Structure 1
């Protein structure tokens, strides 16, 4: 095998990992644009998605579903107290349905699914629903009460949320690593280049999801509300766009993307309870390439990070993480020189 063939294979692997970083980076950009939260715990959604699926696949009930039930009940209590304070008792039925009945029904479905060994697709669907539902609950319980806090305070809280979720992950799944079955064990041959079926699935799903997000943001009412809240929170309020709803929706999308990424990479790499830190940080590095505002630049940065990481693993595997994170330095310097210094806009 000559050097050109080796380079082509490394680029293929880099594009696969870069696609995952692109999704995570875009989720971070969305959350920051809407809520001003630099959500360092994004990688924990990846871990929760992968390990919840792995446990369902082995016939065990993932602890994430009990975390969901507890958070939903607590959020329901807060919402009920708020409705009582505002004398808006019409909300009680909705609160009971969304925060009590639905989580308990999902928990019952998960227990049944773990003992019934459902087809792999349905296991993926249940795990995806569980982790996605955690997103808006985290926003409701943690970030909504402090929506007017400074970016620095929100950043510190995000670091705390990361450690809390890692601790729960250790309790739920232990220190053992897990992998899941591949979605497609075939391959595609392009001349001498052979593309692994799982890599094809990762790139294809990433492409479809990016297209779907573009359609949602540009063609749907919810997407336009998110864009309005991201552009100008004060203007969105004046137009009767609920900022709290936009925040919940952005965290829901971020949790969905994180869980989906975890399911896509779980057949490729072994996932541990604390794997989310490095994965999430690389998504954050990709978002830095876009200045935390540009989705296209985030995509380009993520693909570049994936390719650099792939070549670094081949040439200098001991230093690959340092090489990837060092990429932030010239990018930050360029962004600083381009935009200049300015105080935070309150």
Structure 2
């Protein structure tokens, strides 16, 4: 391996690692707030890429139908819950979130986007649909069992993953896609050619992480999520709705997934089931951070990207095995370093 090859591998590792950082941070965020290991996080990424590719081809986006159907189901569940408690409080807001917003986005995607529509508008519609899907999925799959143990929530997340993979195969088909580059051209960094697309991915990943830092540190909603992550019951006692926190967290996770799908689409072929591997590699980074520390998760995800790049050069047939084997020493080290604490069963 010469210096040129080394530089290209580092560039490739940083590019994929930047996307894995976004996935790892979103997994940590969802787990700390809701205690849910968001197995379907990768589906947000895959659906964004597949939807954007369909819009570029002029096809009707299948995500629009999934969004409307899931929204109707979520509204029916809210309406049924309101009837059981004998109060219609919150029904108007649910109608807007679960019926009106999906219907408007689906109409725009199906009838307002054409071949001549600018790429920026297609990206905006794609991201909006994926973000709207986040709180709907939380309402349908997790909100009814939000107080359950993390094990039950994990089982529900795995079930939701398989449902979304099946829906993806039906709506998008088995073909792989790539999207158009967001930016063309290349430049030189340290006397090495670097594509502008790569620099965009790195800048977008850094920018989004800074935006999340500002959101959690300086906004009321971010502080509410932090309070829920620290003490769920205490946050409820001071007026932070656990349902609102869960839906907001899923909306943020879906936004991160949508951005990741837009960024990775031009450099990686995405299939209907590609989200699982993408999410799993982000999960490896999150595990390195202990599913609790954002900086450690980001460093772990970057390590996964670099390890994957160099593994593809030295042993391409075993690169996935090498990446996922990284979990074993990390879990072993954490199990030895962890101090057992007796659980409170009050």
- TM-score, normalized by the shorter chain, greater than 0.5: yes
Cα distance in structure 1, aligned partners of 2:215 and 2:106: 29
Structure 1 residues 109-118 or 209-218, which shifts more? 109-118
Q: RMSD of aligned C-alpha atoms?
A: 1.5
Q: Determine the structure 2 residue equivalent to 1:319.
A: 318
Q: Determine the structure 2 residue equivalent to 1:329.
A: 328
Displacement of 1:56 = 0.7
Cα distance in structure 2, aligned partners of 1:98 and 1:119: 27
What TM-score results when the alignment is normalised by the length of structure 1? 0.96
Cα distance in structure 1, aligned partners of 2:253 and 2:91: 28
Displacement of 1:342 = 4.1
Q: Determine the structure 1 residue equivalent to 2:205.
A: 206
What TM-score results when the alignment is normalised by the length of structure 2? 0.96
Q: Are residues 345 and 48 of structure 1, via their aligned partners in 2, closer, same or farther at CA, if it must alter by over 3 Å? A: farther
Say if 2:98 and 2:136, in contact at 8 Å, map to a contact too. no
Cα distance in structure 1, aligned partners of 2:328 and 2:317: 20
Deviations 1:129-162 (A, max 9, x none): 1111111111101111001111111111111111
Structure 1 residues 212-221 or 188-197, which shifts more? 188-197
Structure 1 residues 216-225 or 70-79, which shifts more? 70-79
Alignment of 1:39-118 (within 5 A): 39-89=38-88, 91-115=90-114, 117-118=116-117
Q: Determine the structure 2 residue equivalent to 1:280.
A: 279
Say if 1:59 and 1:117, in contact at 8 Å, map to a contact too. no
Displacement of 1:163 = 0.7
SS at match of 2:114: helix
Q: Determine the structure 2 residue equivalent to 1:241.
A: 240
SS at match of 1:183: coil
Cα distance in structure 1, aligned partners of 2:93 and 2:325: 49
SS at match of 2:181: coil
Say if 2:186 and 2:196, in contact at 8 Å, map to a contact too. yes
Q: Determine the structure 2 residue equivalent to 1:24.
A: 23
Cα distance in structure 1, aligned partners of 2:80 and 2:9: 56
Q: Determine the structure 1 residue equivalent to 2:266.
A: 267
Gapped regions of structure 2 (runs ≥ 5): none
Displacement of 1:344 = 5.3
Displacement of 1:244 = 1.0
Say if 1:25 and 1:302, in contact at 8 Å, map to a contact too. yes
Deviations 1:229-283 (A, max 9, x none): 0011111111111111111111111111111111111100111111111111000
Say if 2:33 and 2:245, in contact at 8 Å, map to a contact too. yes
Cα distance in structure 2, aligned partners of 1:343 and 1:267: 49
Q: Determine the structure 1 residue equivalent to 2:138.
A: 139
- Is 1:193 aligned to 2:160, yes or no? no
Displacement of 1:98 = 2.7
Q: Determine the structure 1 residue equivalent to 2:305.
A: 306
Gapped regions of structure 1 (runs ≥ 5): none
Q: Determine the structure 1 residue equivalent to 2:33.
A: 34
Deviations 1:80-118 (A, max 9, x none): 233333443353433333322222121111112343531
SS at match of 2:112: helix
SS at match of 1:189: strand
Cα distance in structure 2, aligned partners of 1:155 and 1:96: 28
SS at match of 1:194: strand
Deviations 1:183-215 (A, max 9, x none): 111112124211111111100000000000000
Say if 1:75 and 1:141, in contact at 8 Å, map to a contact too. yes
- Is 1:183 aligned to 2:182, yes or no? yes
Cα distance in structure 1, aligned partners of 2:301 and 2:310: 14
Cα distance in structure 1, aligned partners of 2:23 and 2:296: 13
Say if 1:61 and 1:114, in contact at 8 Å, map to a contact too. no
